[in-house]
Structure 1
Amino acid sequence: MKLFGVLFGRTKTKSSQVAKERLKLVLVHDRIKVSPELLDTLKGELIGAISKHIDIDQAGLEVTITRGDKVDKLVANIPIRRSR
Structure 2
Amino acid sequence: MEFLNRLFSNKPSPKDVAKDRLKLILINDRGTLSPDILDKIKSEILEVLSRYIEIEPSDVDIAVTSTEKLEGGAPSLVANIPIKNVRKR
Return the TM-score normalized by structure 2.
Answer: 0.59
Larger radius of gyration: 2
Please list, as runs of the form range in 1=range in 2, the aligned pairs for 1:3-82 lying within 5 A after superposition: 24=24, 27-69=26-68, 70=71, 71-82=74-85
Higher relative contact order (CA 8 A, sep 6+): 2
Q: Percent identity?
A: 32
Consecutive unaligned residues in structure 2, runs of 5 or more: 1-16
Alpha-carbon RMSD: 2.3
More strand by percentage: 2
Consecutive unaligned residues in structure 1, runs of 5 or more: 1-16
Runs of 4+ aligned residues of structure 1 deviating over 3 Å after TM superposition are: none
